[in-house]
Structure 1
Amino acid sequence: MTYAGSERVVEQLLTVFPEATLSAALVRPDHLPELLGRAEPSFLQRLPGAVEHHEWSLPLMPLAWRARPPLSNVEVVISSSHACAKAVRVADGIPHLSYCHTPMRYAWDFNGEKARFPLPTRVPARALMAGFRRWDRRTSDRVTRFVANSTAVAERIHRYYGRTAEVVHPPVDTERFTPGGERGEDFLYVGRLVGYKRADLAVEAFAGLPHRLIVVGDGHMGPELRARATPNVTFLGKVDDATLLQLYRQCRAMVFPADEDFGISMAEAQACGAPVISVDRGGALDIVEPGVTGWLVPSDDVTALRAAVRRAAVVPLDQAAVRTRAESFSVKTFRRRIRAAVDDVMQDPRPR
């Protein structure tokens, strides 16, 4: 477990349900707030190298959840799952609400995810993922009720599992992320520098533009992107919270060409009044209202992305309208809606 969007959801779940116990496949306490660092890990925690290289443990993840005894003596079980956590064993009669960040991308969209696997492992990994799909579909039947983090994920849940899912967007700290100061002329990218985040598209787009792009984040693609970037692209690596807030407040717009399950950094930018340029897929469809809070372009279309940046540079959007959209993702809204979903499944534990 590292501290990213899904961990922020778990942190809020523990705030709403402070008496809950917490289990995880793997835990890195030094990378987590105290509230999450107390999670009880599975047997994977004891395997050499598993904590530092969790991706190596992927073939054992199903066993990590199924090897635990069924959860009992609780009123309800909530899983926060983007891979295997929804497979946790639950005693008969106890409702299981699964907050699904996405059905396992490795299994259901291997072509889109294969870049994460070293080339020599891709053929056996593809065969392994076929087995994962069958297992993932079977374990979905054991979930009482699904909650999705976006409309796009709800559609995947229906397509892959044949189940409906209520949408409860992840919590955004709209009390900390607020507008302030003068908006500048620079554009901003915030995200890990890994393949599926598509920072490469942003860097390529700005190679033909007179505007400046500031890139926040690190990852294995960092050296390659720095080598390809033109002088108008500046890499800051990781930044502290105060610097990130200032960048959100001052940028002309955030550029984020990734097909995300939700995309919490886009919502954070909007909470600061910054429009967002993203793709017309995934979580951006829930976050960006074209022409009002930002612009959407086709996936992998550098020409369209470049045109959207040019438009954003000369067409200012109403900062108050951008902020208002982000307020629908507030922590307060998340807490209210997730509590209502849990109350509902406890009162009516029939699967949907």
Structure 2
Amino acid sequence: MKYALVHEWLTPEATGGSELVVQEILQHINADLYALIDFESTNPESYLFKRPIGTTFLQHFPLARKGVQKYLPLLPVAIEQLDLREYDVILSSSHAVAKGVLASPQQLHICYCHTPMRYAWEMTFDYLNSSIAGKGLPGILTRQLLHRLRQWDAVSANRVDYFIANSRHTAQRIWRCYRREAEVIYPPVNIDRFSVQPHKQDFYLTVSRLVSYKKVSLIVQAFNQLGLPLVVIGSGPELPLIRKMAKSNVRVLGWQPSEVVQKYMAEAKAFVYAACEDFGMALVEAQACGTPVIAYGAGGALETVRDIQQHPDLGTGVFFAQQSTAALKEAVETFEASQPAFNPDKVRANAEKFAPKIFKERYLAYLDHCYQEFEARNLG
């Protein structure tokens, strides 16, 4: 069989969990790769260097490399221009429009969905309130655009034969947006990159893109009030704000290479996270270091972290129920009181449930199941 793998964009700046899923799939399936834009095949440091990758007309648009999202109204049109008629199986890795490729009834399309398009659905009002495009007359046009985008997103879900979700939380959102069932297969986390450091240092850590919905400013506010040492690693539009608001007990390091991030993760007494994530790969990476997690108790965190208050012998973290400084401060105080109960080896053992070999086994088995069922339905 001939496989095509479709992802949204491939650039040196895009190195998140969805890109790691693409990399893992390509290790086990010989697939031709497609994307809206590609600037990785010309990157000597990329595993995709010199690999043939099919792209769309957006590849040649000005400033596309810096973020093709600026051409949001054109993304659905662009993804539909990929001609995949020669393939037997289409695999999409989708967090925006990749699932919208056109396919014939004879082609099997399996989508690994990292999230339904966030800014078109539950983050619509965050997007409108935080952008100048959401105000005044431009705001009316933006609302119309998002309305049309939701319509296209729901319709294009019907082009997928089988959905895979990266968490139960995402599966629920797929059902809410598309009314489609999804198989849950957790993404691969390269836990072998991290080693357990049993002797922790006296500081807390957060690693995140510095954008509003990640709530890093909330974490800084809470630690400003607590007076406890906090290290912030990450870059993004909120970096100047975070640096301005941080008191002397908060060190803002900005972007750091992976080896520095791993060192801080291994040495931190706890990893702090205040966003609601669909999966939350950083939470698993911290646990792979034997580092407990203090996290907002929603989304994928509920599936990757065990609250010490509910699991006294196997706890790997502490949850807080509201995205507020008061709730986070209370969780930190709970962690301080419970710290002796955390066992680094047990924390690491919880992370091992998300190892790449488990993803490989489950993903390939589900692909085989889908193909057998698809063939039987077509023959029947």
Q: TM-score range by the shorter chain?
A: over 0.9
- 1:16 equivalent to 2:28? Answer yes
CA distance in 2, matches of 1:273, 1:333: 20
- Residue 98 of structure 1 corresponds to 111
Are residues 1:75 and 2:80 paired? no
Residues 325 and 106 from structure 1, CA distance in 2 versus in 1: closer, same or farther, beyond 3 angstroms? same
2:26 paired with 1:25: no
Aligned CA distance change for structure 1 residues 26 and 249 (closer, same or farther; 3 Å):
same
Q: Within 5 A, what are the aligned runs for 1:146-157? A: 146-157=163-174
Per-residue CA shift, 1:275-297, capped at 9, x if unaligned? Answer: 11111211111111111111111
Question: Residue deviations 1:162-198, cap 9 Å, x none?
Answer: 1111111111111111203521121000011111111
Q: Secondary structure at the match of 1:295?
A: strand
1:261 Cα deviation from its structure 2 partner:
1.2
Contact 1:83/1:104 (8 A) holds in 2:
yes
DSSP-derived class of the 1:129 partner = helix
2:260, 2:187 → 1: CA distance? 23
CA shift digits 1:253-282 (9 cap, x unpaired): 100100111111111001111111111211
Amino acid at match of 1:249: A
1:311 aligns with 2:334: yes
Q: Higher relative contact order by CA 8 Å / sep ≥ 6: 1 or 2?
A: 1
Q: CA deviation at 1:31?
A: 9.1
User: Which one has a larger percent strand, Structure 1 or Structure 2?
Assistant: 2
Instruction: Indicate the RMSD between aligned Cα atoms, in angstroms.
Output: 1.8
What secondary structure is seen at the aligned counterpart in 2 of 1:25?
A: strand
Unaligned runs of 5+ in 1: none
Question: What is the aligned counterpart of 2:62 among 29, 44, 48?
Answer: 48
Contact residue 58 and residue 68 of structure 2 kept, 8 A:
no
* Uncovered stretches (5+) of structure 2, i.e. residues with no partner: 1-9, 309-314
Q: Which residue of 1 aligns with 2:306?
A: 289
Contact residue 213 and residue 233 of structure 1 kept, 8 A: yes
Distance 1:209 1:37 in 2: 50
Match of 2:5 in 1: none
CA contact (8 A) 1:115 1:195 kept: no
| TM superposition shift of 1:100 | 0.3
Residue matched to 1:340: 365
- Cα deviation for residue 72 of structure 1 reads 2.8
Counterpart of 1:301? 324
Answer yes or no: is the 8 Å Cα contact 1:278–1:284 preserved in 2: yes
Query: Could you tell me how far apart the structure 2 residues matched to 1:299 and 1:258 are?
Result: 10
2:26 and 2:273 map into 1 onto residues whose CA distance is 30
Q: 1:204 to 1:123 in 2, by over 3 A?
A: farther
Shift of the alpha carbon at 1:116?
5.3
Distance 1:198 1:86 in 2: 29
Equivalent of residue 347 in structure 2, options 304, 307, 322: 322
1:142, distance to aligned residue in structure 2 (A): 1.1
1:131-210 map, 5 Å: 131-180=148-197, 182-210=199-227
Is residue 6 from structure 1 mapped to residue 24 from structure 2 by the alignment?
Answer: no
Q: Secondary structure at the match of 1:166?
A: strand
SS of corresponding position for 1:211:
coil
**Which residue identity is paired with 2:91?**
I
- Tell me how far 1:247 sits from its aligned partner: 0.8
Aligned-pair CA distance for 1:54: 1.6
Aligned in 2, Cα 1:224/1:31: closer, same or farther, shift over 3 Å? farther
Matched, 1:259 2:298: no
When structure 1 is superposed on structure 2, of 324-333 and 36-45 the one drifting more is 36-45
Q: Residues of 1 paired with 2:179 and 2:49: CA distance?
A: 32
Counterpart pick for 2:295 among 256, 272, 278: 278
